[in-house]
Amino acid sequence: MDEALLRELVPAVIAVLVRRGADFASAEDAAQEAVLHTLQRPPAVPPRDPKGWLITAAWRRFLDAARADAARRARESAAAEQPPAGPAQERDDTLRMYFLCAHPALSPSAGAALTLRAVGGLTTRQIASAFLVPESTMAQRISRAKRRIAGVPLDEPGDPATVLRVLYLVFNAGYDGDVDLAAEAIRLTRTLAGLSPEPEVAGLLALMLLHHARRAARTDGLGRLVPLRAQDRGLWNTALIAEGVTILQRALARDRLGEYQAQAAIAALHADAPRADETDWPQIVEWYDELLRITGNPVVRLNRAVAVGEADGPQAGLAALADVDPALPRHTAARAYLHERAGDTDLAADLYAEAARAATSVPERDHLIREAARLRH
């Protein structure tokens, strides 16, 4: 049986087991064991109903583990009389699983790990590899998360904003390890978009696609960061851009603007420019104004200042930057860029060097060091 199909079935299988009386942790373990066993020893004849087949396999594993418990045995007979879930119930089960794994009682990182395990169907080893931590550490993290939500009923309403934050965290976690987390986040968000009519879900999917479309151009042959303005736009994935723009337009037509739709609109404007100097910066500033109105986020204010510098000149950008907390990460790098555009290259070089010392990643630090060196030669 196809591994991707089995992974897609995991959340619905867990939900059925929970509805039959299994606790979440046991249901999740049983579903994962059934998937692993199926991959290792696939049936000689592929089942006509893969989901029903997997539910049966997982339920048997749950019963085997709970056979000594009299209360669980009582639930076995009750569950056997339940009718199978229809398409509407399956849809609701999968949607609720997203909410449960991104429960507010969990930290964002725990919610991301549990989502990848229970909704994405990844193994603990795969998740640990993706987040660059030992498998034992990730196993403990997932176990704690499952214990934390052990008493939460599957029908409890969830917070869509929390689910979207968790999925965006997965998307931004990087590309290391055995699993491409960006691609996995897109897959999960695409599934969620098919379950939920919320325009912000579509907005997040569009944002992911538009960012992912630029992936091949973000680094050069030596693995060094390439800023957006210097990227080879011929490397951008036009199919992903077209899909992202189409999804965004449909979401915006709902007239319920949210932060992910606004971010996607900014990304779409960048994607629409054949060359960096053709970017519609005035419109980008307008979208940053909308985003700032929605979120009040200081990072948005910082990015808006840089956009103002592109639209109205570096002095206007520096004036806008003066209203931003200088302790904010990348504030110094933004000052350096705007001073360079204003022609003050000596100060810009010093600021790039200062920003490099405060960089939060090695690629960012190295890029800023190169910017400082470029202006000093």
The band of 81, judged by pLDDT with boundaries at 50, 70 and 90, is very low
pLDDT single digits (tens) 133-178:
899 999 999 999 999 988 887 766 678 888 999 999 999 886 556 6
Task: Give the type of residue at 34.
Answer: A
In Å, how far are 17, 56, 223, 250, 273 from 220, measured between CA atoms?
48, 49, 5, 34, 21
Number of other CB atoms surrounding residue 123 within 10 Å: 19
The pLDDT value recorded for residue 306 is: 98
The pLDDT value recorded for residue 338 is: 98
The band of 371, judged by pLDDT with boundaries at 50, 70 and 90, is very high
- In whole angstroms, what is the distance from residue 272 CA to residue 269 CA? 5
* Burial class of 148 by CB neighbour count within 10 A (0 to 12, 13 to 18, 19+): middle
Please compute the mean of the pLDDT values over residues 253-260 and round it to a whole number.
Answer: 95
Q: How far is CA 62 from the centre of its chain?
A: 31
The band of 293, judged by pLDDT with boundaries at 50, 70 and 90, is very high
The pLDDT value recorded for residue 179 is: 79
The pLDDT value recorded for residue 361 is: 86
Higher pLDDT, 234 or 122: 234
Kindly state the helix (H) or strand (E) to which residue 168 belongs, with its residue range: helix 160-172
Q: Which of 356, 363, 33 is nearest to 223 (CA)?
A: 363
Residue 34 has pLDDT above 60, yes or no: yes
pLDDT single digits (tens) 117-141:
988 888 898 888 888 889 999 999 9
Please compute the mean of the pLDDT values over residues 7-32 and round it to a whole number.
Answer: 89
Contact 111, 80 (CB under 8 A): no
Residue 87 has pLDDT above 90, yes or no: no
pTM equals 0.83
Percentage of the residues of the chain whose pLDDT score is greater than 90: 59
Residue 67 has pLDDT above 90, yes or no: no
Higher pLDDT, 23 or 248: 248
The pLDDT value recorded for residue 72 is: 44
The pLDDT value recorded for residue 90 is: 61
The per-residue pLDDT of the chain, averaged, comes to 89
Longest Cα–Cα distance of the chain, Å, equals 80
The band of 20, judged by pLDDT with boundaries at 50, 70 and 90, is confident
- In whole angstroms, what is the distance from residue 368 CA to residue 361 CA? 11
- In whole angstroms, what is the distance from residue 45 CA to residue 67 CA? 29
Which of 6-15, 133-142, 298-307, 360-369 holds the top average pLDDT? 298-307
Residue 320 has pLDDT above 90, yes or no: yes
Please compute the mean of the pLDDT values over residues 241-261 and round it to a whole number.
Answer: 96
**Could you tell me the two tokens for 275?**
């060359």
The pLDDT value recorded for residue 62 is: 86
Q: Which of 287, 293, 284 is nearest to 261 (CA)?
A: 287
Residue 85 has pLDDT above 60, yes or no: no
* Burial class of 262 by CB neighbour count within 10 A (0 to 12, 13 to 18, 19+): buried
Q: How far is CA 208 from the centre of its chain?
A: 8
Task: Give the type of residue at 287.
Answer: W
The pLDDT value recorded for residue 215 is: 94
- Least confident range of 1-5, 74-78, 131-135, 150-154: 74-78
Task: Give the type of residue at 211.
Answer: H
Please compute the mean of the pLDDT values over residues 1-23 and round it to a whole number.
Answer: 86
